[in-house]
Structure 1
Amino acid sequence: MPQATHEGVLRFGAIEIEVAVLDNGLRVITQTGLMVGLGHIRPPKGRQYYRSGANLPAFLTVQGLKPFIGEDLVTIANQIEFRTKQGVKAFGYAPNFLQKVCDVFARAQHAGVLKATQHNIANRAQIIAEQLERSCTMRLIDVATSYQEIRETQAQQNTYRRQECI
């Protein structure tokens, strides 16, 4: 099971989402971070639509969101199991999952199909999406976890090694 080597928090104004870089190089949005960041989401009632097949988080399985869930979201929805730096088992999602979830709520809100309890999620998703439009999620995770310093050092070392071989 992969282990987190770097952990941090993405900040979108007052919204915070926990993230990590794993020892295999994967960047993840933690499941807890996603839920808290979108507003302490509780499992919905009536989780019938995706009970078999897709492994979407419960809050995306409500019937009203069904038309906005594309195959691309279903494909990247698989949870990534890992251990935190403290050794605790945790779950996360690929970095681009966050943007896709924000898009689902934006389209559902634009269509006027959200329930009253989902408007807070949609508003938070909009704030996050606006920030994500300005920067790559993986880059934001690298900065939040201080992993960009490691990546830059590795890139410099690789450049030096290539120059030595010439």
Structure 2
Amino acid sequence: MRMLASMDEEFTLQRQGGIARAKKLSSEERSEISRKAADTRWAKAEAEGKILPRATHSGELQIGGLSIKCAVLQDGTRVITETAFMKALGVYYSGWLSTRREESDSGEKVPNYISHKALIPYISDHLNPEDYDSVWYRSEKGTKSRGIRAEIIPKICEIWMDARNAGVLTGETAKAIAARAEIMLRALARVGITALVDEATGYQEIRDRQALQALLDQYLRKEFATWAKRFPDEFYHEIYRLRGWTLQDFHKRPGIVGKYTTDIVYERMAPELVEELEKKNPSLSPGYRRQKHHQWLTEDVGHPALSKHIDNVIVLMRASDNWDMFKRLLDRSLPKRTAANTFIMPGLFDDIEY
């Protein structure tokens, strides 16, 4: 008995010592210890094959005065934290929700946020059974979290509104949930849920950068192609005419023509195209590069875009009396393309037509 008592006393002393040490730590130090412990747990889970996607960006989504936690996972999935979404709607684990988990018309158990019996006839109009699955993920703090895919949030709201409009929601709590669902849906009608999540989490800049890189990948080759004539003589004839130059030295064009071409053509085709071309085809000395820029453009996207752009530029040149007039028309009709003035979304350029 005395041995057991000694062991208890030793355990108590160790516990007290741990508490005392913890009190001496700053909040930042305690957070760092917790983070390392979480990383250790997740590393063990990954080693055992229990891998969950990790949240790379998180934030608070503001919809119609409602605040909901959200995240973007490393695979690009946008999620709304399930508990936060239910709280925003006013759905709590009490009352009817604590006593039943309703089945849909097809027999599957539906999620808690639509398990009100009156909703069942309207679920299949908006959701498929695979939409019922929660998204489990690792939060940025390392905790295991459960989320709802962001794109089905409007559908959930529509289910509640359908039931409300049909007059089958009799309780005041259910009616209040439907009212919040309507507020949420109206807010989402103005701005898409994906765009809101990206803005709330700060993922917007990453998304735009990835989409821009995807666009540039379609424009540019990995290796340069053999030279072929891409700029018609008329393009240069018009430059000479608008600048007031004679055509006597047409085949010995001044170096400034190269700068004009960059300004008139490449800077107006796609955002950051010139920067990427400079990396692939740097200037080795003033006025000299190993290849022409157009040799780095792809056959399926880059060259058709170049050809169409040059055609449009020549039309503006023909309509202009002088260089200043041409530049005004050019800046108005074909402004320089930058990431700031170009709206880029993932998948937008899957079937690009310049």
How far has the Cα of 1:53 moved from its partner? 5.2
Quick check: 1:42–1:59 contact (8 Å CA) kept in 2? no
Q: 1:96 to 1:163 in 2, by over 3 A?
A: closer
> Is 1:50 equivalent to 2:103 in the alignment?
yes
Q: Distance in 2 between matches of 1:50 and 1:137?
A: 27
- 2:187 equivalent in structure 1: 131
**For the residues of structure 1 that align with 2:153 and 2:219, how far apart are their CA atoms?**
39
SS of residue matched to 1:9: strand
Match of 1:76, SS state, is helix
Q: Deviations over 1:25-48 (max 9, x none)?
A: 111111122112112522415415
Structure 2 residue ranges without an equivalent (≥5)? 1-51, 222-296, 298-354
Q: For 2:186 and 2:71, how far apart are their aligned partners in 1?
A: 21
- CA separation in 1, counterparts of 2:107 and 2:121? 16
2:90 to 8, 18, 39: 39
**Contact 1:77 1:97 (C-alpha < 8 Å) held by counterparts:** no
Q: How many Å apart are 1:159 and its aligned residue?
A: 3.5
Matched letter for residue 165 of structure 2: H
3-state SS of the aligned residue for 1:41? coil
In structure 2, what is the Cα distance between the partners aligned to 1:19 and 1:110? 29
Q: How does 1:6-155 map to 2 (within 5 A)?
A: 6-43=57-94, 44-50=97-103, 54-70=108-124, 72-73=126-127, 74-114=129-169, 115-155=171-211
Cα 1:45–1:113, aligned 2, differ >3 Å: closer, same or farther? farther
Deviation at 1:122, TM superposition (A): 0.9
Give TM-score scaled by structure 2 length: 0.44
Cα displacement (A) at 1:126: 0.6
Deviations, residues 37-82 of structure 1 (Å, cap 9, x unaligned): 1125224154153299535322422222111111642331210110
CA distance in 2, matches of 1:161, 1:109: 49
Q: 1:134 to 1:94 in 2, by over 3 A?
A: same
Larger radius of gyration between Structure 1 and Structure 2: 2
* 8 Å CA contact retained: 2:64, 2:187: no
Contact kept in structure 2, 1:99 and 1:132, CA below 8 Å:
yes
Gaps of 5+ in 1: none
TM-score, structure 1 normalization: 0.89
Paired AA for residue 146 in structure 1: G
The answer to whether the 8 Å contact 1:83/1:90 transfers is yes
The 1:158–1:45 alpha-carbon spacing in structure 2 relative to 1, beyond 3 Å, is closer
Q: Write the distance in 2 (CA, Å) between the matches of 1:8 and 1:162.
A: 32
**Structure 1 residues 72-107: Cα deviation after superposition (integer angstroms, max 9, x where no partner):** 423312101101000100011111221111101111
Structure 1 consecutive aligned stretches of length 4 or more whose deviation exceeds 6 Å: none
Contact 1:46 1:62 in 2 (8 A): no
Q: Letter of the 1:111 partner, please give it.
A: A
Q: CA RMSD in A?
A: 2.1
- Change in Cα spacing, 1:59 to 1:94, as seen in structure 2 (3 Å) is closer
- Secondary structure (helix, strand or coil) at the match of 1:8 reads strand
CA shift at 1:161, angstroms?
4.1
**Closer, same or farther in 2 for the Cα pair 1:102/1:72, shift >3 Å?**
closer
